[in-house]
Amino acid sequence: KLMNKLFADRVTDVPRSFIREILKDALLPGTISFAGGLPNRELFPLEGIQKATNKVFDTIGKDVLQYSNSEGYLPLREYIAAQYAKQGLSVPVESVLITSGSQQGLDLLGKTLINDNDGLIIEEPGYLGAIQAFSLYRPKFLPVPVTSAGMDLEKFKKSMNEGKPKLIYTVPNFQNPSGITYPNKNREAIANIVKDTKCLLIEDNPYGDLRFEGESQTSFKKLIPDNTILLGSFSKTVVPGFRIGWIVAPSELMEKLIIAKQASDLHTNQLSQCIIHQFLMDNDLNEHIKKITKSYGHQKNVMIECLEKYFPKEVTFTRPEGGMFLWATLPKGISALDLFQLSAKEKVLFVPGDPFYINNKGVNTLRLNYSCVDAETIEIGIKRLAQSIKLLIEKTID
C-alpha cells in the first residue's frame, strides 16, 4: 500500500471493472458464461475484413500507416453521416468525431463537460462502463430507475428540478444491462422536460441496429436535436477489436471534444478506420446485421423459453426486442451476489446487479447475456442456474 498516497483523488473511488474480474473465471473449461458482454465471434466477418485489409494496403499504401487528423478518416465520417440521413436525422459530417470505441466518447464527454459535483442523471440500472468513465470526473450521480416503461418520469422530473443536472446519460435501445427499450411515449415525455433547458442528453446507441422484433422507436436526436449528443459504434455490428466508435455533437462542443481527443491520443487508429470503411464499401452492412439479429433473436427466444420452463415463478425478467442482454429480478431479499457464489461453483456465470447501481448493494437483480451461448448450452446453463436459485430461496426462507 506504499503507493496509495501517490494516486490522484479522482482514481481512488473508481471501482475496478467487476465484469472483467469475473470474465477471467469464465475462461475455465466447462464453465457456461452468461456474464460476458461480447458480440458472438462466430459472426465476425473475417473474410470480408481480410479482403478489405489487402485492398487498403494496395490502394492507400504507406499513407495508411502515417499520422492522421484528429476528427477521423473523412470517408468514414461521411458514411456515418449518410447512415443517419437514411434514418431521417440531420447530421452534418463536421459534427462526427471518430473515437476509439464509443467508450472513449464517454471519457471525452466527461473531460469536456463534467466539473466536480456537476449533476448527471444516469439510468438505474446503468451501463457500468459509463459509471466508470464518468466517475473519474467526479460528478454527482442522480440515478433514475428504468423499467419496461422507460425512465421513471416522476423521479426524472424530481432529479431535473432538484439536482440541476448538466447531463443525462441514456441507452434507450436494448439497454445494457437490462435489455429495455424506452417506448416512444416515454421518450416524448422526457424530451418535453429537457427541451427548454440547457441540459445535454447523451443518447448512447451501440445496440440500436440489433433489433430482432418490434418497431424501432424515435431517436432523441429527432425529438430534441439541440440537446442531444449521439454516441455510436461498430463494435456490435462489425467487430469490437478495431475500437471504432463516434460522437455526434453540436459545433461548439465539437471544438472542445477535438482538443480533448488530441490530448488523449492525437487520433483514432488510422488503419482500423480505413479497413472498416473499405469493408463497409464492399459489403452490405444491413445483410450482415440481419445474420446477427437472426442469431441473437433465436438465442433470446431459447433463453426466455428456458426461463419460463425452469425458473421459479417468483423470478421476473425483461423481454428484449434486440441487443444482447436480459435482466432478471429475484424475489425480494435474495441477493444476486449470493446466487453468483453458489452458481459459480456449478460453473454457471452471470453478472450480479450490484455494479450497475450507484448506491444500492446486495441487490436482487442480475444480467444474463445470450449472444455468446448456443441454444443447447443456454438450456443446460439456465437449468443449472434455476437449481441454484431454488436452493438459495429455500436457504433464505429457513
Residue 22 or 393: which CB sits closer to ligand PMP?
22
Reading the block at residue 295, the C-alpha cell is 442469431
Q: Measured at CB, which residue is nearest to ligand PMP?
A: 101
Residue 275 or 392: which CB sits closer to ligand PMP?
275
**Is residue 240 near ligand PMP by the rule CB under 6 A?**
yes
Question: What is the spatial distance between Cα 21 and Cα 176, in angstroms, rounded to a whole number?
Answer: 18
Q: What secondary structure letter does DSSP report for 227?
A: G
How do strand 140-147 and strand 150-151 relate by DSSP bridges?
A: antiparallel
Q: Output the smallest distance, CB 234 to ligand PMP, in A.
A: 7
> Within 10 Å of residue 210's Cβ, how many Cβ atoms?
22
**Is residue 176 near ligand PMP by the rule CB under 6 A?**
yes
**Is residue 204 near ligand PMP by the rule CB under 6 A?**
yes
Asked if 87 and 205 count as a contact pair (C-beta separation under 8 A), the reply is no
**Is residue 297 near ligand PMP by the rule CB under 6 A?**
no
How do strand 325-329 and strand 316-317 relate by DSSP bridges?
A: antiparallel
**What angle (nearest 5°) sits at the alpha carbon of residue 177, between those of residues 232 and 15?**
95
**Is residue 36 near ligand PMP by the rule CB under 6 A?**
no
Asked if 362 and 354 count as a contact pair (C-beta separation under 8 A), the reply is yes
Residue 139 or 240: which CB sits closer to ligand PMP?
240
**Is residue 365 near ligand PMP by the rule CB under 6 A?**
no
**Is residue 179 near ligand PMP by the rule CB under 6 A?**
no
Q: Which element (helix H / strand E) includes 77?
A: helix 74-86
**Is residue 237 near ligand PMP by the rule CB under 6 A?**
no
**Is residue 245 near ligand PMP by the rule CB under 6 A?**
yes
Tell me the residue length of the chain. Answer: 398
Q: Output the smallest distance, CB 190 to ligand PMP, in A.
A: 17
Instruction: Please report, as residue ranges, which positions from 116 to 175 form the binding site for ligand PMP (by CB under 6 A).
Output: 127, 129, 171
Reading the block at residue 100, the C-alpha cell is 476509439
Which residues make up the interface to ligand PMP (CB under 6 A)? 37, 101-103, 127, 129, 171, 176, 204, 206, 233, 235, 240, 245
